[in-house]
Structure 1
Amino acid sequence: MNAFRASLIPFWRNRVARLGTIILCLFILMAIVAPWISPYSPQDSNFSEMLSPTLAHPLGTTQDGHDVLSQLIYGTRVSLLVGFVAGLGTTLLSLLIGLLAGYMPGVVDEVLSYVTNVFLVLPALPLMIVLAAYAPVKGEYLIVIVIIVTSWSWGARVLRAQVTTLRTRDYVVAARFSGDGVMRIMFKEIFPNMMSLVAASFLGAAISAILGEAGLEFLGLGDPNINSWGTMLYWAQNSGAMLQGQWAWLAAPGLCIALLGTALVLMNFAVDELANPRLRRN
C-alpha cells in the first residue's frame, strides 16, 4: 500500500495529469448523478422542435422535441461505459498475447507475432466499419466487440517487446530455475514490473474506443435509439442542425468527446513520468 501511495505522488504532482484527472472525475460524477442534475428525462418529447438555446432549454431541443442538455448528461453514461469497457477488453487481450509471445519464443511467438502483424497492417477504421455494417445485430455490445477486435494489435506489439527484455532478468531466471510455472512467472514476476506500460496502453485504448464508438454511431452503425454522444451527433447531422440554427446540438457532444479524450491524454503524461524515472520531478 505504501508503494502504491508513493507511486501516486509523481502522478498528482504533474499539473496536466491532475487537470486530466479532475476532468475525468467530473464526467464520471455527471454520469452517476444524471437523474438528479438532468432538467428533464431524455425521452421526454413534449417540447417544441428545434429550439435554439433558451433558459428553459440551455442547449435547445432536437427534431423530436427532446431536451439536448438532458440527452447530453445521460449520454455520458453510455459513452464512458463503452469507452472503458472496450479499452479494458483491448488491454487485456493485448496483455495476454504480448505476455505469451514475449515469454515463449519459438512457435508460440512466431504464430502470435504473425497474427499481430496481420492486424497491424489492416486499416482499423475501414475494418471497424465493415464489421459493424455487416453484423446481424446492432448495439453497444457489438461496438465494444468490434473495437476490441480491431484495436488490440498495437498494444500487443509494444507489450511483447517489453516482455522480451524482462524475461532475461535475474529474478525471472531464478523463478524459472526454482520450478515456478509459466503462468505464475508471467503474472507474478513479469506483469508487476510493466504496470505503467499497461496503464498507458489502457489509457490509449480507452481514447481510441471513445472516438471509435462516437465515429461508428455518427455513421449510423450503432443503435440509433440508444442515447450516447455518438447518436446525438448522428441525429444532429441527419436533421440538419447547423442549417436550422441549432448549433448547440452538434457542438455540445463533440466538445464533450474532445474534453474526455484530452483528459485521458493528459493523464497519460503522468504515466510516462512514472514509467521513466528521468522524467520525474523533485
Structure 2
Amino acid sequence: MDKRRGLPAAQEAESGPAGRARLRFLRGGKTRTGLLILAFFALIAVIGPWIAPYDPDAMSDQLLQPPSADHWFGTTHTGQDVLSQILVGTRGVLLVGFIAGFLATVLSVLIGVSAGFLGGAADEILSMFSNVFLVIPGLPLIIIIASFVENTTDLVIASVIALTSWAWGSRVLRAQTLSLRRRDYVEAARATGESTWRIIIFEVMPNLTAVIASGFVGTVIFAILSEITLAFIGVADISHWNWGTVLFWAQSNQALAQGAWWWFVPAGLCIALLGTALALINFGIDEFVNPRLRTASGASRKVRMRVGFTPVARTGTPTQSGVPGTRSKEQSE
C-alpha cells in the first residue's frame, strides 16, 4: 500500500510508466482534436434525421433563400432546406466510410499477415493475389460495378470500395510481419509448441495494432471521398441523401453561377472537417508508432521549456578559490 496516495502496490504500478505509455496516444493535441471532430460527426450521424428541422425532400415556395432564422443553411431552387439535407446525409457518409474501412482492414489483415508469416508457396499465392488487386484502378471499377447494379445501397457501395482498397494495406502488413516472424519471442513461442494461428494472434498481431489502425483510418478517408465522388458524378443513387448528393444537385442547377453559395459551401466544409479529423488521427497514430517523431516532439518541448536567462559567473574576481567561476591566487600567478 502506498501511504502517500492510499493506492495498492499493484494499482500504483499500473498507473506508472506502463499506464502512461498506454495513454500516450490520447495525449497528443492532434489526436484529441481529431477525435472530438469525429465524435461530433458521429453524433450527427446518429441523431441527424431526428433533429432535422424539415423533411429534406419537402419543397416550399422559399426558392434559393440565403441563410436565415427559418433556414440556417438556406434553401435550394425548389425550396428544400439545405441544413436538413446535410444532417440526414451525414449518416450515409460515415456508414459507407466505416463499413468499407472495416471490410478492407479485415481482408488486408487476413491476407497480408498470413502471407508474411507462413511464407513459401502460401506467400507467393497470396502476394500474387494482392498484386492483382493492387494494380486494378479502384474508382473506375467502382463506377462500372455501381452502374450495373440496380439498387446501389450504402452496403453495396461500401463492399465495392472495400474490395478495391485492401491490397495496399495487405502489402504493408506483409512487410511488417516478415520483420516480426524471426523475433526472439516468436521463436520462443514456436519452440514451446504453440500453434501457428495462436502465435499470429497473440504474438504477432499485438505488434501490428498501430499499423492496422493507421491503415483503417486511411481506408475510411478513401471510402468517404469515393462515396462522395460517386454521388457527385451521379453514379450512386441520387435520391439517397449524402453530402455528395447535395453537391450533385447544386452543380446540376448551377448554384455557383446563381451566387447560391450556401447550397454547396456547407457540404464542402463538412467534407473538409471530416477529412481533417481523420488525418489528424492518422498523424497521431504515426507519432505513437514512430519513436523518432515522439523523440523529436518531446525534445522540442524540452527546448522550449529550457529557454531562459542563464547567469554566467564573472571570472577573475578576487574571491576564495574553490568557488565556481573564480580563479585562485595560484591560478592567477
TM-score category, normalised to shorter length: over 0.9
Q: For 1:133 and 1:32, locate their aligned partners in 2 and report how far apart those are by CA, in whole Å.
A: 29
Matches within 5 A, 1:105-124: 105-124=119-138
Helix, strand or coil at the partner of 1:33: helix
Matches within 5 A, 1:1-282: 6-35=20-49, 37-280=51-294, 281-282=297-298
Q: What is the Cα deviation at residue 196 of structure 1?
A: 0.6
Report the AA paired with residue 284 of structure 2.
A
Is the alpha carbon distance of 1:174 and 1:215 closer, same or farther for their aligned partners in structure 2, counting shifts above 3 Å?
same
Say if 1:7 and 1:274, in contact at 8 Å, map to a contact too. no
Identity %: 48
Say if 2:95 and 2:154, in contact at 8 Å, map to a contact too. no
Task: Flag the structure with more relative contact order, 1 or 2, with Cα contacts below 8 A and sequence separation at least 6.
Answer: 1
Report the AA paired with residue 173 of structure 2.
L
Report the AA paired with residue 268 of structure 1.
N
Q: What is the Cα deviation at residue 220 of structure 1?
A: 1.3
Q: For 2:98 and 2:20, locate their aligned partners in 1 and report how far apart those are by CA, in whole Å.
A: 26
Equivalenced residue count is 282
Q: What is the Cα deviation at residue 272 of structure 1?
A: 0.9
Q: For 2:144 and 2:24, locate their aligned partners in 1 and report how far apart those are by CA, in whole Å.
A: 43
Report the AA paired with residue 42 of structure 1.
P
Q: For 1:130 and 1:111, locate their aligned partners in 2 and report how far apart those are by CA, in whole Å.
A: 27
Q: Of Structure 1 and Structure 2, which has the larger fraction of its residues in helix?
A: 1
Q: For 1:120 and 1:70, locate their aligned partners in 2 and report how far apart those are by CA, in whole Å.
A: 39
Q: For 2:72 and 2:122, locate their aligned partners in 1 and report how far apart those are by CA, in whole Å.
A: 57
Helix, strand or coil at the partner of 2:57: coil
TM-score with structure 2 setting the length = 0.79
* Bigger Cα displacement from structure 2, 163-172 vs 243-252: 243-252
TM-score with structure 1 setting the length = 0.93
- The runs of 5 or more residues in structure 1 that have no matched partner are none
Q: Which consecutive segments of 4 or more residues in structure 1 shift more than 6 A?
A: 1-4
Is the alpha carbon distance of 1:279 and 1:52 closer, same or farther for their aligned partners in structure 2, counting shifts above 3 Å?
same
Report the AA paired with residue 131 of structure 1.
I
Q: What is the Cα deviation at residue 241 of structure 1?
A: 1.7
Say if 2:134 and 2:168, in contact at 8 Å, map to a contact too. yes
1:152-191 residue CA offsets vs partner (Å, 9 max, x unmatched): 1110000110011111111212222222222211111110
Say if 1:47 and 1:66, in contact at 8 Å, map to a contact too. no
Q: What is the Cα deviation at residue 221 of structure 1?
A: 1.5
* Bigger Cα displacement from structure 2, 49-58 vs 181-190: 49-58
- The runs of 5 or more residues in structure 2 that have no matched partner are 1-13, 299-333
Measured on the aligned residues, the alpha-carbon RMSD in Å equals: 2.0
1:22-58 residue CA offsets vs partner (Å, 9 max, x unmatched): 2111212222332454322323323523323222112
Is the alpha carbon distance of 1:178 and 1:16 closer, same or farther for their aligned partners in structure 2, counting shifts above 3 Å?
same
Report which of the two structures shows the higher radius of gyration computed on alpha carbons. Answer: 2
Helix, strand or coil at the partner of 2:23: helix
